[in-house]
Protein backbone atom coordinates (compact mmCIF):
# COMPACT_ATOMS: atom_id res chain seq x y z
CA UNK A 1 0.00 0.00 0.00
CA UNK A 2 0.83 3.65 -0.30
CA UNK A 3 0.88 5.82 2.81
CA UNK A 4 -1.23 8.96 3.18
CA UNK A 5 1.75 11.32 2.94
CA UNK A 6 2.76 9.85 -0.43
CA UNK A 7 -0.82 10.16 -1.67
CA UNK A 8 -0.97 13.81 -0.56
CA UNK A 9 2.36 14.58 -2.26
CA UNK A 10 1.20 12.81 -5.42
CA UNK A 11 -2.07 14.76 -5.41
CA UNK A 12 -0.20 18.08 -5.09
CA UNK A 13 2.22 17.10 -7.86
CA UNK A 14 -0.60 16.00 -10.14
CA UNK A 15 -2.31 19.35 -9.55
CA UNK A 16 0.88 21.16 -10.57
CA UNK A 17 1.27 19.01 -13.68
CA UNK A 18 -2.34 19.55 -14.74
CA UNK A 19 -2.04 23.29 -14.09
CA UNK A 20 1.02 23.49 -16.36
CA UNK A 21 -0.71 21.38 -19.01
CA UNK A 22 -3.82 23.58 -19.02
CA UNK A 23 -1.58 26.67 -19.10
CA UNK A 24 -0.19 25.49 -22.45
CA UNK A 25 -3.68 25.62 -23.93
CA UNK A 26 -4.15 29.24 -22.85
CA UNK A 27 -0.98 30.02 -24.81
CA UNK A 28 -2.48 28.34 -27.88
CA UNK A 29 -5.75 30.20 -27.33
CA UNK A 30 -3.88 33.50 -27.72
CA UNK A 31 -1.37 32.45 -30.37
CA UNK A 32 -3.50 30.60 -32.92
CA UNK A 33 -6.04 33.40 -33.61
CA UNK A 34 -3.16 35.89 -34.01
CA UNK A 35 -1.43 33.63 -36.49
CA UNK A 36 -4.63 32.99 -38.41
CA UNK A 37 -5.30 36.72 -38.62
CA UNK A 38 -1.75 37.38 -39.82
CA UNK A 39 -2.09 34.56 -42.34
CA UNK A 40 -5.21 35.87 -44.10
CA UNK A 41 -4.44 35.73 -47.82
CA UNK A 42 -0.91 34.41 -47.29
CA UNK A 43 0.68 31.19 -48.38
CA UNK A 44 -0.78 28.25 -46.43
CA UNK A 45 2.62 26.55 -46.11
CA UNK A 46 4.04 29.59 -44.31
CA UNK A 47 1.00 29.73 -42.01
CA UNK A 48 1.26 26.03 -41.26
CA UNK A 49 4.93 26.33 -40.30
CA UNK A 50 4.09 29.24 -37.96
CA UNK A 51 1.36 27.18 -36.30
CA UNK A 52 3.56 24.10 -35.94
CA UNK A 53 6.37 25.97 -34.19
CA UNK A 54 4.55 26.57 -30.86
CA UNK A 55 3.14 23.04 -30.92
CA UNK A 56 6.58 21.51 -31.44
CA UNK A 57 8.00 23.73 -28.70
CA UNK A 58 5.50 22.29 -26.22
CA UNK A 59 5.99 18.71 -27.38
CA UNK A 60 9.77 18.97 -27.14
CA UNK A 61 9.82 20.35 -23.60
CA UNK A 62 12.18 18.46 -21.34
CA UNK A 63 11.29 17.92 -17.71
CA UNK A 64 13.79 19.81 -15.54
CA UNK A 65 16.15 17.37 -13.81
CA UNK A 66 15.02 18.44 -10.34
CA UNK A 67 11.42 17.46 -11.21
CA UNK A 68 12.06 14.29 -13.21
CA UNK A 69 11.83 12.04 -10.13
CA UNK A 70 8.53 13.65 -9.15
CA UNK A 71 7.14 13.24 -12.66
CA UNK A 72 8.20 9.58 -12.79
CA UNK A 73 6.69 8.98 -9.34
CA UNK A 74 3.44 10.52 -10.53
CA UNK A 75 3.43 8.36 -13.67
CA UNK A 76 3.93 5.29 -11.50
CA UNK A 77 0.97 6.24 -9.30
CA UNK A 78 -1.25 6.67 -12.35
HEC secondary structure over 43-78: CHHHHHHHHHHHHHHHHCCCCCHHHHHHHHHHHHHC
Q: What is the pLDDT of residue 42?
A: 64
Q: How confident is the model at residue 33 (pLDDT cuts 50, 70, 90)?
A: confident
Q: Is the pLDDT of residue 20 over 80?
A: yes
- What mean pLDDT value characterizes the chain? 76
Integer Cα distance of 41 and 28 in angstroms: 21
Q: Is the pLDDT of residue 36 over 70?
A: yes
Q: Is the pLDDT of residue 21 over 70?
A: yes
Domain boundaries defined on the chain: 4-77
Q: Is the pLDDT of residue 17 over 80?
A: yes
Amino acid sequence: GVDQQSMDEARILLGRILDAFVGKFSTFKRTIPQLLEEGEGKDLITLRSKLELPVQAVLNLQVPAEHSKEVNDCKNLI
